[in-house]
Each structure stands twice: as C-alpha cells, then as structure tokens.
Structure 1
Amino acid sequence: MATITVEPATSDRFDDAEHALTGGGDGRSCQCQWWTIPNAEFQKLSIAEREALLRNELDAGPPPALIAYVDRQAAGWVRVGPRTAQVRIGRTREIVGATAQPLDDPSVWSVSCFVVRREHRGRGLNAALLEAAIDHARARGARVIEAYPLDPTAAKHSSNELYRGVLSVFLAAGFTEVARPRADRAIVQLELT
C-alpha cells in the first residue's frame, strides 16, 4: 500500500510544487494563481510570469498551499489560506452574494484549489489533502474554513473543472453546505472554534 504524506508548500519544495501542478489539468498554465489576482491581470500574464508569482509566494511564506506525496513523489496540491489573500474570491459575485462571513475577516480561510496528477487519481488524495488543510488552518488560527466545491451529481464536469473540489469530499470531512448559488456549485463552511 502506498504511503501518503502531506507537507507545506515551502520555497525548498518549489520543484515538488511544480511536479504536482503539472501532472494533469490546468495546474501547469494556472500555477495556482487564479484566485490570487484579478482576472484582467491573470489574463495578461504568461505561464512563466505566473510561475514566478508562485515562486515569490513560496519564498515569502507563509505556505499558501500543501503538497501531497505518494511514496515521497509529489502527487497533489491544495491551496489553503486566508480568504483575504485570495482576492478573486472577494470579486466573485456568486460567492460574495452567498457567504455570511465578512469578506475582510482574516480568520476566514478558503480551500480553493486542488490538483492531483493523473497517475495518482482515485486514491483518495483530495480527502487526504483536505484533512491536512483543515489541520493546517486550525493550527494557524483560522476560525472558519470556506470552500466552493462542485456537485457532479447536479451537472457533469470535466476533471479540469473539478479544481474547486467535489462537494461529497467536503461533506464527508464535516463541512456544512451554507449556500447553493448554482445547481452544481455549493459554498461550504467548517467552523474551527
């Protein structure tokens, strides 16, 4: 049986972050910058410029994400951190109109992006990443974790679209659905205090 571990995405793990992000889906082109900058800026940046932004994030700390390892090989990624550091969330109407949490509250954290390399899918890595994200947020003083998963029972989605996570994984981890801005999109929260 494979050994799964999850570690913070720190500057010394940049190559592992890149390996995790480039194994399927949009991780290679996005570099997990989608939620961190406004759309107009995101669209203007090249992949190399987005990669530089990610490197700067990891260098500056604190870790904006976690990396899952399967038998010591980087296999997956989850972005978890204060919602205030993910500026696009505060500009997304379907989220802003449905969350009861103050948008400027740094104790509200978001789990906003998952990437799992193709060869490691179907092994429960999203659940392992989410469990580690909860522990990471709790240890750093988060009051609430919010997420924006898709519900594939309401509409079919490509694997690329599932970067937000899947509703059933969040519900199994103890999150509560607090809003349904679209039939296939939920907002979920987990109180940590």
Structure 2
Amino acid sequence: MGRNGFAVLPLTTGRWGDLADLFGPQGPCYGCWCNHFRMPQRLRKPLLGEGARRLFEERVRQGPPPGVLAYADDKAVGWLQVGPRADIPEWNNPRRASTPLADAPAEDISNWAASCFFVRRGFRGQGVTGALIEGAIDFARESGARLIEAAAMDNREKRSADGLYVGPESVLRRAGFVEVARQKPGRPLLRLVL
C-alpha cells in the first residue's frame, strides 16, 4: 500500500472502470467528467452527463494518462487531474486564479497543473487528497514535468467538499507547494518546483 494507506496510480484505459465507479453514473460536478478546464463553457455545457463521459473516456483511451487515481484496496476512492497546462486551455484563461505567470507559460509542456480533485464520500478527511498529491508529484517527475501549479481554495474560505474540487491550500502546502501569486481573492496560485 502507498501513502496514508492508499495506492496512487495513473489513469490508464485499463483503469477506466475504476474511475467510472468512483464518479458514479452522472459523473461529479453536475456531469462534468473533468472536462471543465478542457473546453469553453459554450462547448462543454451541452455535453454534460453522457456526452462528457464519452469525451473523457476517449481522452483516456488516447493517452497519456490525464491524472491519477487513489485506491483503498482495489476500490478507487480519489481522483486528481494532473498534467501539462496545455491540455487544459480554460485553466490558462487570463481571467482565472490559475492564469499562468510569465516564468511558467502554458505552452511549455513541462509546466503542469493539478486542476481537479475528487474524493469518494466516506473517504473524505482520511488523507486521500494528500496521497493523490504525493502520487501526482511522482507521476509528474516520471513524466518530465518541471513544476506543478494549483489554484487552491484559501484556508480561510469555508467551502463544501464539492467546492474543493480545485484543491485545499493546506494539503498542497504540506506537500511543499508555495504561493507564487494571488490573482483572485481567496485563490492562491501555488507551485511546486520538481
């Protein structure tokens, strides 16, 4: 078993069924299926639900893995979308908390983003997010990333578990991420240089 008792593995085609089980029939975040930062809302919104699921499944099939899964025994209990900023163009929008800085442009595929977190109900507050982050750091290093950034929720902001899909600041800081900018109130841009 891996960190905090959870194994963390890249999402490959062979693990698609584990992600589908974790996300449930509708998918998290109102049927987004982790397409929120992959395309503009006008294109994404009509796909919510089954269309978004099919689109993300095709993305996984094409590879490379778009993130990591955390497992408790052989059941997926957490997901973190992590990969090059270039793969999630909406995350790079100039009006977002995650807008890239001049020293880490989105076009450089060695600049990665940890953009979407999801933890299964019943496993929240048990260290899954920390395990996902540590597993994502290993995955990013092995894949040639230079750095990982996250536009987390500020520790002072009170949010529901669903609202933490961008990641909790405190857990990212414990993993070594440091604030490099604050482009929106309550949303620090955190970075870990690998």
Report the TM-score, using the length of structure 1 for normalisation: 0.91
CA distance in 1 between counterparts of 2:106 and 2:57 reads: 26
Q: CA deviation at 1:46?
A: 3.3
Q: CA deviation at 1:16?
A: 0.4
CA contact (8 A) 1:5 1:69 kept: yes
Range with greater deviation from structure 2 (120-129 or 181-190): 181-190
Q: Which residue of 2 aligns with 1:146?
A: 149
Structure 2 residues without counterparts, runs of 5 or longer:
none
Q: CA deviation at 1:25?
A: 8.6
CA contact (8 A) 2:98 2:150 kept: no
CA contact (8 A) 2:153 2:166 kept: yes
Residue 144 of structure 2 corresponds to residue 156 of structure 1 = no
Aligned with 2:32 (options 2, 9, 30) = 30
RMSD of equivalent CA atoms: 2.1
Spell out the pairing of 1:1-193 with structure 2 (5 A cutoff). 3-22=5-24, 26-27=28-29, 29-95=31-97, 99-100=101-102, 101-153=104-156, 155-192=157-194
User: Equivalent residue of 1:6, what SS?
Assistant: strand
Report the TM-score, using the length of structure 2 for normalisation: 0.91
| Aligned partner letter, 1:48 | E
CA distance in 2 between counterparts of 1:96 and 1:163 reads: 14
Percent identity between the two aligned chains: 38
Residues 138 and 76 of structure 1: is their aligned pair in 2 closer, same or farther, counting only changes over 3 Å? same
User: Equivalent residue of 1:119, what SS?
Assistant: coil
Tell me the number of residue pairs that the alignment of Structure 1 and Structure 2 aligns.
191
